[in-house]
Chains A and B, each alone.
Chain A
Amino acid sequence: MAHGILRELADSSAEALRAFGRYALFAGRLAAETPRALLRFRLVIEQVHNAGAQSLVIIMLSGLFVGMVLGLQGFDLLERFGSEESLGSAVALGLLKELGPVVTALLFAGRAGTALASELGLMRATDQLSAIEMMAVDPVRRVVLPRFLGGVIAMPLLAAIFSMIGLFGGQLVGVQLMGVDQGQFWSQMRGAVEFGDVMEGVLKSAVFGVACSLVAVYEGYHSVPTAEGVGRATTRTVVISSVSVLLLDYMLTAVML
């Protein structure tokens, strides 16, 4: 029995490695084609709009509530040490360095990522990708790459909006509801948050943007051309993106702290 478990473990590790290799090759192909895709930037801008606009409402709403919860929890915690005036810096650092990029990426994977994967999967299932190839056009360059770059560009913008709305939510609860001094809230924040903290968030959201968009376009492009295959690709997109984001978050935090 132990032998069977070991063999299964070895098989799944080998399969995971093969999958990683396939992802790496696909990412390499996208990277090689990127300069040419940037020459037709209009296609990329369209996809920034698609990915960004699709996720905007959900990002803004979530940002507001996450900020409000941070305000509430932060106030409760800091009050125990008599330092409620530090609430502004706690909310800002929490949002900019961690919650902004991570929650945005998870929401992006669930909203725009699944839309991307199912769109490409349906294009595969209805022969649209084959038709593009038959018209002597490379579907990776014309269809996949603009969508990938659109997601990569949209993610940091969405994370910035998330953090901004979150700060507003934190302020709403901390200052308006719990009575923290408005001046102290903002001045503590300005004093504590450094340029490096902001850049940490930007870098994280850029990396998450690459990861989530890559997973979505890879899974969609390589989906089995059936209704079931498209459904499976969509599910895999959410699962792989979410796990990758949390894993990458730990690695990036460990490197940057």
Chain B
Amino acid sequence: MRGLHYRAGGREIFSGVDLDFPRGSVTAVMGPSGSGKTTLLRLITGQVRPGQGLVEFDGQDVSQLPRAALYRMRRRMGMLFQNGALLTDLDVYENIAFPLREHARLPERLVRHVVLTKLQAVGLRGAARLMPAELSGGMARRVALARAIVMDPELLVYDEPFVGLDPISMGVVLRLIRRLNDTLGVTSIVVSHDVREITAVADHCHLLSAGRIIASGPPAAVAGSEREDVRQFMHGLPDGPVPFHYPAPEYADQARRVT
């Protein structure tokens, strides 16, 4: 990404962001809620287009691609949505088979083999015939992960993969992110604000705040940064450049006005 500017709802979300995601590595993009992390993923995958700047995937400018070419490119990407986004009228098996049925005319025996292999990779082969409503949050996330890798993508993007998960499920998802990255040789981009979890698996980190990248580098280097705003986020300090108090008039003035 080079010189990325993006506005939405009259607000500047990104003002001149430059980012690199090295091939074959796990890169974490962290930042407080509302800092535009999910929007960043939507820009990378071409779901929204930037006002200005370049978003390049394997030499192609994503933001300039016509729809057909964008769809061709997306076959090389997998995305894990925050809530899994499983299709609620299909069972687990059919959810994972969905991209295969849409894009490849494979014999049913082969579809079955691929789906079961992917389910085995996320440890849920036994849940093949469950409906999404019957899955826990962690299981839904794992099924969505199996669906994201069913077309053997080159890029996997994860949108807040740990939100709402219990510690066991979180551990499973963490391990899967690292293992899938290493065994499938994909490039992974993980957007999250769970600092401890994500820095444990990431090779590189970018910290996003107020529309800019304020820190980049290996997790240990970012965690050890001396910058006050980086320190506040990485160590979860309640007060700092992001103040504890929402801007307000003087207490006495406000109290008088109310009475």
Binding site of A, secondary structure by majority: helix, strand, loop or mixed?
Answer: helix
Q: Which residues of A contact B71 (CB under 8 A)?
A: 136-138
A134 CB-CB contact with B under 8 Å: yes
Q: Which residues of B contact A126 (CB under 8 A)?
A: 83, 85, 88
**Complex CA–CA separation, A133 to B77 (angstroms):** 11
A131 CB-CB contact with B under 8 Å: yes
CB <8 Å contact, B83 and A134: no
Q: Which residues of A contact B75 (CB under 8 A)?
A: 136
A130 CB-CB contact with B under 8 Å: yes
Using CB atoms, name the residue of chain A closest to B103.
A136
Q: A134-B77, A135-B99 are in contact. Are A128 and B45 (CB under 8 A)?
A: no
CB <8 Å contact, A142 and B102: yes
Q: Which residues of A contact B45 (CB under 8 A)?
A: 134
Q: Which residues of B contact A123 (CB under 8 A)?
A: 88
Q: Which residues of A contact B11 (CB under 8 A)?
A: none
A33 CB-CB contact with B under 8 Å: no
The total of interchain contacts (Cβ-Cβ below 8 angstroms) comes to 52
Chain B window 125-140, contacts with chain A (Cβ cutoff 8 Å), 1 for yes, 0 for no: 0000000000000000
Q: A128-B87, A128-B88 are in contact. Are A134 and B82 (CB under 8 A)?
A: no
A79 CB-CB contact with B under 8 Å: no
**Interface size of B in residues (CB-CB distance below 8 Å):** 23
B257 CB-CB contact with A under 8 Å: no
CB <8 Å contact, A127 and B47: no
* Residues of chain B in range 58-86 having any CB-CB distance to chain A below 8 Å: 71-72, 74-75, 77-79, 81-83, 85-86
**Complex CA–CA separation, A196 to B183 (angstroms):** 69
CB <8 Å contact, A127 and B99: no
Q: Which residue of A133, A135, A138 is within 8 Å of B98 (Cβ)?
A: A135
CB <8 Å contact, B88 and A134: no
Q: A130-B47, A131-B79, A142-B102 are in contact. Are A136 and B72 (CB under 8 A)?
A: yes
* Residues of chain A in range 5-22 having any CB-CB distance to chain B below 8 Å: none
**Complex CA–CA separation, A231 to B144 (angstroms):** 27
Q: Which residues of B contact A132 (CB under 8 A)?
A: 87
CB <8 Å contact, B99 and A131: no
Q: Which residue of B72, B81, B103, B151 is within 8 Å of A131 (Cβ)?
A: B81
Smallest beta-carbon distance B215→chain A, Å? 29
Q: Which residues of B contact A131 (CB under 8 A)?
A: 79, 81, 85-87, 144
Q: Which residues of A contact B83 (CB under 8 A)?
A: 126-127
Smallest beta-carbon distance A81→chain B, Å? 55
CB <8 Å contact, A134 and B74: yes
Smallest beta-carbon distance A150→chain B, Å? 14
Q: Which residues of A contact B47 (CB under 8 A)?
A: 130, 133-134
Q: Which residues of A contact B77 (CB under 8 A)?
A: 134
* Residues of chain A in range 174-216 having any CB-CB distance to chain B below 8 Å: none
Using CB atoms, name the residue of chain B closest to A46.
B89
Q: Which residue of B81, B86, B102, B147 is within 8 Å of A130 (Cβ)?
A: B81
Smallest beta-carbon distance B102→chain A, Å? 5
Using CB atoms, name the residue of chain A closest to B74.
A136
CB <8 Å contact, A128 and B85: yes
Smallest beta-carbon distance A195→chain B, Å? 41
Chain B window 91-114, contacts with chain A (Cβ cutoff 8 Å), 1 for yes, 0 for no: 000000011001100000000000
Shortest Cβ-Cβ A-B pairs, 7 listed: A131-B85, A127-B85, A136-B74, A136-B71, A134-B79, A135-B99, A127-B81
Return 20 A-B CB contacts under 8 Å, by A number.
A126-B88, A127-B82, A128-B87, A128-B88, A130-B85, A131-B86, A133-B47, A134-B47, A134-B74, A134-B77, A134-B78, A134-B81, A135-B74, A135-B98, A135-B147, A135-B151, A136-B74, A136-B75, A136-B103, A137-B102
Can you name 11 extra interface pairs (CB under 8 A) apart from A131-B144, A134-B74, A137-B98?
A130-B85, A131-B85, A134-B47, A134-B77, A135-B99, A135-B102, A136-B72, A136-B75, A137-B71, A137-B102, A142-B102
